[in-house]
Amino acid sequence: MSRVQEAQGGSARRRLVAAAQELFARQGVGATSPRQVMSASGVGQGSLYHHFPTKHDLAMAGVAATTADAVELARAELRGSSAALDRIRSYVGRRRDALAGCKVGRLTSDQAVMDDAQLRAVVGRYFTDLLDEVAAAFRESGLADAAARDRAHAAVAIVQGGYVLARATGDPEAMTAAVRGFVGLLGEPENASPGGPMSSGGGAPSATTRA
């Protein structure tokens, strides 16, 4: 195969995976057919079945890409040279699209994912990796390991629960309030200005991302 053909093949695969991610986020894995993904990607049927012979293959690639994107975004926020609690505030208070829901979290209510051991494992690994990242930041802030793990579970639960509350009430401010309450429990950020957006008395950012 020539380099041009390899590049074209890689481009087709990327388009298929990106289309699958978007459709899975919008309507779920179980409700999405390979034909819908093919149509959304603009890739031909031959390329679809060359890269993904079965729907399961396509689902694995799309779900894995979504979880990888989400955990890398969290790592970028949770690792760095700023104060550990400030990085945790940045992760929890990231702008999120509360009404759209978490792209990964919503997979846990997709029966097609939960009934498939391999897909379920990919989703489970995302949350395990995320908890490890948040716990590491809490340990860096001075907490013992057990307390850091507990606090990490609380932080992740606040984000996921914020999505649920916002979607259930139709009000994105439900997530904002949940985040603001958790951030307030962490205390004032270093070098905080009075009434700043992430202070215990200020508001958490409204949401635009979905992980």
Q: pLDDT value at position 211? A: 75
Chain centroid, CA 5 distance in Å: 33
* pLDDT surpassing 80 at residue 62: yes
Does 191 score more than 60 pLDDT? no
pLDDT at 17 over 80: yes
Report how far residue 129's alpha carbon sits from residue 107's, in angstroms, rounded to the nearest whole number: 16
The encoded tokens of residue 99 equal 């009404």
Sequence ranges of the domains in the chain? 1-53, 66-211
Pair 141, 187: CB distance under 8 Å: no
| More confidently predicted of 88 and 192 | 88
Provide the 8-state DSSP code for 187: -
pLDDT at 202 over 60: no
CATH number of 1-53: 1.10.10
Closest to 136 measured CA to CA, from 188, 84, 76:
84
Spatial separation of the C-alpha atoms in residues 155 and 179, rounded to whole Å: 9
- Spatial separation of the C-alpha atoms in residues 149 and 196, rounded to whole Å: 28
Q: pLDDT band at 187, cuts 50/70/90?
A: confident
- Residue 209: what residue type? T
Asked which of 44-48, 53-57, 69-73, 196-200 is least confident by mean pLDDT, the reply is 196-200
What's 194's DSSP letter?
T
- Class (C level, CATH) for 66-211: mainly alpha
Confidence (pTM): 0.84
